[in-house]
Amino acid sequence: MAARAISSGTISFGLVSIPVKLFTAASSEQVSFNMLHKKCNGRVKMQYFCPTDNEVVERSDTIKGYEHAKGQYVLFSEEELKSLEAARDNSIEITEFVPLASVDLVQVEKSYYLGPDKGGDKAYRLLSEAMQGKDRVAVGRWAARGKEQLVLVRPHGDGGLILHQLYYANEVRSFDEIETGAKFSFSDKERDLADKLIDQLTSEEFEAEKYHDSYSERVLSAVEQRVQGQEVTVAPEAPKAQIIDLFEALKKSLENANKPLEAGSLKPPKKVGARGKSEGKKTKAGGSE
């Protein structure tokens, strides 16, 4: 089934305008839980509570305020906030073209696929192929949802385009705030082992299909077991040996990388027997910890 566009807009640079459609590129598939009342298993509802008047407040009786000092707020009505919004025309104005290597991926917040809208096919593909040929990506502003978003448009696949919504520079913490530890001088043997370990684990390209959300898989398996009236079992985690010496850790890692997968290592855990003996341990499912 063809993907459904979530919005439409226009990419513009110079005197060129390209009508485009936006499509969701990725969405979380992580398992989620609802909060229930232990007494009756009914789903609870969130409420606004005012500790000053000691009462539950209806949403219609609320107003937005910006805290400019501790406990002091500047109040805004919905009409005032509307007047401060940017134009809602979904226009994407390209301001410059830069090398992709100059963009730090930590700034990427969300991603959308872009497809050509009516009459924009030729210009859309020309922009994609031109950026690919020059090894450049486009930086611009996206007027959406009343706010001006910083975005990156890059070529993708066979003549396609992707839009990345970026964090502004003041929203990204400086790495200078992070303590990276003391500096060390490494021996040739340590560097050689590290190089060999990287070579051993190197692949020609990243294949996302190889990786799965094992937590979600365990939770859904536990849900299925509980729905079927079975006891929930999980395999115990294998103890991890602590190796303090870096040289020994590198050697051990290299040895483990060379080991073939042990037979039966992917078998599911055994069910609990009549006497409670099992390789797994019981866990509670259905909670919302």
Cβ(188)–Cβ(244) under 8 Å? no
Long-range contacts made by residues 124-130, C-beta under 8 angstroms, separation at least 24?
A: 124/11, 124/18, 124/20, 124/159, 124/161, 125/159, 127/11, 127/16, 127/18, 127/161, 128/155, 128/156, 128/159, 128/160, 128/161, 129/155, 129/159
Q: Is the domain of 143 the same as that of 69?
A: no
Locate all alpha helices (DSSP H) within the chain, ordered by sequence: 78-84, 121-134, 188-200, 214-227, 246-258
In whole angstroms, what is the distance from residue 273 CA to residue 246 CA? 43
Q: Is the domain of 96 the same as that of 18?
A: yes
pLDDT band per the 50, 70, 90 thresholds, residue 287 = very low
Environment class of 206 (CB within 10 Å of its CB; exposed 0-12, middle 13-18, buried 19+): exposed
Please tell me whether the overall predicted TM-score, pTM, comes out greater than 0.95 for this model.
no
Average pLDDT of the residues in 107-111 = 94
In whole angstroms, what is the distance from residue 267 CA to residue 248 CA? 31
pLDDT at 242: 65
- Domain span at 97: 7-27+85-170
Q: Does residue 62 form part of some domain?
A: yes
Q: Which of 14, 156, 187 is nearest to 93 (CA)?
A: 14
What is Dmax (Cα atoms) for the chain?
78
pLDDT at 258 over 50: yes
Percent of the chain with pLDDT over 70: 87
Helix-helix angle 188-200:246-258, to 10 degrees: 30
Distances (CA, A) of 62 to 65, 69, 70: 10, 20, 20
pLDDT at 88 over 90: no
Q: Is the domain of 97 the same as that of 109?
A: yes
Mean pLDDT of the chain: 84
In whole angstroms, what is the distance from residue 194 CA to residue 244 CA? 16
Q: Does residue 263 form part of some domain?
A: no
Q: Does residue 182 form part of some domain?
A: no
Q: Is the domain of 58 the same as that of 107?
A: no
Q: Does residue 108 form part of some domain?
A: yes
- Over the stretch 10-68, which tens digit does the pLDDT of each residue have? 999 888 899 999 999 988 888 899 999 999 999 999 999 999 999 999 999 999 999 99
In whole angstroms, what is the distance from residue 128 CA to residue 108 CA? 20
pLDDT at 278: 39
| pLDDT greater at residue 265 or residue 141 | 141
pLDDT at 276: 39
Contacts of residue 111, defined as CB under 8 A and 6 or more positions apart, other chains included, come to 25, 26, 162, 163, 164, 165
- Over the stretch 122-166, which tens digit does the pLDDT of each residue have? 999 999 999 999 999 999 999 887 788 999 999 998 999 999 999
In whole angstroms, what is the distance from residue 56 CA to residue 120 CA? 52
pLDDT at 260: 60
In whole angstroms, what is the distance from residue 94 CA to residue 142 CA? 9
| pLDDT greater at residue 232 or residue 185 | 185
pLDDT at 241: 61
Q: Is the domain of 14 the same as that of 118?
A: yes
Q: Is the domain of 58 the same as that of 17?
A: no
Question: Which amino acid, one-letter code, is at 207?
Answer: E
Lowest-confidence segment of 26-40, 101-115, 209-223 by average pLDDT: 209-223
Query: How many domains in the chain?
Result: 2
Instruction: Show which of 170, 196, 212 is a domain's final residue.
Output: 170
